[in-house]
Chains A and B, each alone.
Chain A
Amino acid sequence: MFLETIAGLDTVSVVFLFVSLGIALGFEFVNGFHDAANAVATVIYTKSMKPNHSVILSGIFNFLGVYVGGIAVAYAIVHLLPVELLVSVNTHRGLAMIFAVLVAAIIWNLGTWYLGLPASSSHTLIGSIIGVGLANAISSGVSMAASVNWDKVSSVGLSLLISPLLGFGLAALLLVLSKKFVRGEALRSLNQAPDGDKPPPFWIRFLLIGTCTGVSFAHGSNDGQKGVGLIMLILIGIMPAAYALDYQTNEAELADVVDAAERIEKAIVDHPDLYRQAVEHGMRKIPSDPERAYPVECGVHRALESARDLQAMLADKESVAEIPTGDRWKIRTDILCLDDAISDALLLPLTSNQDESLRLWRSQLRLPTEYAPEWVLLAVALALGIGTMIGWKRIVVTIGEKIGKTRMTYAQGAAAQTTAALTIGVADILGLPVSTTHVLSSGVAGTMAVGKGGLQASTLKSIALAWVLTLPCAVILAAALFYAFTALS
């Protein structure tokens, strides 16, 4: 379908498409070699595995992590943008926005890697998205409250903030528990640092390789999805007829969308007071200057219209192929607007049944719009996997403070890696992006804190820098690029 659709595009769009896809895959590739050291450091340092073998293993599990890790995190990233921008990504402004996010994120990631500065691709990406949202709001006269999806930004920000604390605490706890429950020779072995050229005992090797594999898989599943989200924005923006809706959506799933639309319509008609309250809450988002508003305004006030349109357009449709091309973008817009209306309504004081129903309808509605084609997963998985494998080759030794005398015991390595894999895995299930680097390094810091190594000031500094340097720099860079690209378009 990708090739068939390209045939119908003009030359400029084809160039734009391939450049954007190249940058998005480049972002994942850079992410792979940026984070390769983290994934394989412990097993190589402890001589549990040879470097070549460990980077291949890590690359394969990064690949698998992307491929089977789901798409919840990908769409959490997408939904950082306000719904009005998401339903306008097929406009020049929308495309400038995507391009600005991509270029800002890759410039910052490459720049920090080259300069050896602490960085987090999650903070970079989220900062870039906030940057284009704010720039778009300022240039369109939209209120700051509507510049990005602040509810989503808050939850993502909270997960970025809490996950390293969780990593720190859990790794420390694991180390304490291992000291309490492991006895004798096993405990002595665990608490040793690598000694001589010999590898650790078999079971410790097994543990370290297993947890390294877990970290690689978790890295792929969380970081890979960031690229998947970006690519879906590109495809939907440039080829809306082919990618606005999932072609694989079956008859039953389309019927579920119609069912949700019917129930939403009924709920609005049956609960006029609640509907009015939700409209009042949603109205706060509407731009003050109607002439400079978004091309499409979502919100609860148009929920009834969207619900009725969806039912009409999807009536008797058995597949997406049966839906006229012109209707597909409108269906996507109606679904996203209804989804947004539900998120507004969920903020009202509802009964648990009402809350549960809204969440169910929302999941039914999202079926045709929240997806990623196999080839997208495959391309991102390959970019991240290859980036990881090449990352080891690109480690540049910098003699100085960064090579200072240090030791890590097997137990510390295993505890930090186990914690990182678990924390990131839980974040995947909750659909929350986290910084794998921060989770892992704070896990190590946690083990150092209880292992008489003291609190690692450098780790705290790195995490703090991501908030005070990476985030604002990505915001400014993306905003500047957005202005430049909109001026060019």
Chain B
Amino acid sequence: MSQEKIDAFYQWLKDHPEEMKRAKKMKVDDLISFASKHGFFFEKDEIKARQALMHMMHGT
């Protein structure tokens, strides 16, 4: 399930602070391709859904 993939990708980024720094500057499409190169496969809508959920939960 892609949400788990996103979790795993996020955890991997936390474990690799340099990659996290690079990822923070990426656009969505680049981020997805970057994730897939490291074995984390998810779609654009799925990571956007996660972001939307965060917006809703955080009131932003």
Which of A's residues lie within 8 Å of B, judged by CB?
37-38, 40-42, 44-45, 50-51, 116-119, 194-197, 392, 395-400, 402-408, 437-438, 440-442, 444-445, 448, 456, 458-459, 462-463
Contact = CB atoms under 8 A, between A and B. Distances in A.
Contact of A462 (B7, B23, B26, B60): B60
A440 B24 CA distance: 28
Contacts of B20: 399-400
A403 B51 contact: yes
A406 B51 CA distance: 11
5 contacts: A195-B1, A395-B51, A402-B54, A406-B54, A441-B58
Given A397-B31, A399-B31, A408-B53, A51 B10 contact: no
Contacts of B48: 44, 51, 392, 395, 397
Contacts of A440: 56, 59
Contacts of B50: 45, 397, 403, 406
Contacts of B49: 41, 44-45, 51
Interface residues of B, number: 29
Contacts of A403: 6, 10, 47, 50-51, 54
A118 B24 contact: no
A197 B54 CA distance: 20
B60 A41 contact: no
A45 B59 contact: no
Contacts of A197: 1-2
Given A194-B1, A197-B1, A404-B10, A37 B51 contact: yes
Given A197-B1, A398-B24, A37 B59 contact: no
A38 B58 CA distance: 10
B18 to A, nearest CB: 13
A402 B60 CA distance: 10
B52 A37 contact: yes
Nearest to B48: A395
Given A397-B51, A442-B59, 12 more contacts: A41-B53, A44-B49, A45-B50, A197-B2, A396-B28, A396-B51, A399-B20, A400-B20, A404-B10, A440-B56, A440-B59, A459-B59
A441 B56 CA distance: 6
A463 to B, nearest CB: 6
Contacts of A462: 58-60
Given A197-B1, A403-B51, A406-B54, A437 B45 contact: no
Contact of A51 (B2, B28, B45, B54): B45
B58 A459 contact: yes
B7 A405 contact: yes
B58 A45 contact: no
B59 A118 contact: yes
B38 interface: no
B11 interface: yes
B36 interface: no
A134 to B, nearest CB: 27
A400 B59 contact: no
Contacts of A42: 53, 56
Contacts of A398: 24, 51
A263 B3 CA distance: 66
A415 to B, nearest CB: 13
Contacts of B2: 197
A45 B1 contact: no
Contacts of B26: 399
Interface string B3-35: 100110011010000001001101010010000
B52 A44 contact: yes
B36 to A, nearest CB: 15
Given A196-B1, A405-B10, A405-B11, A395 B52 contact: yes
B60 A399 contact: no
Nearest to A117: B60
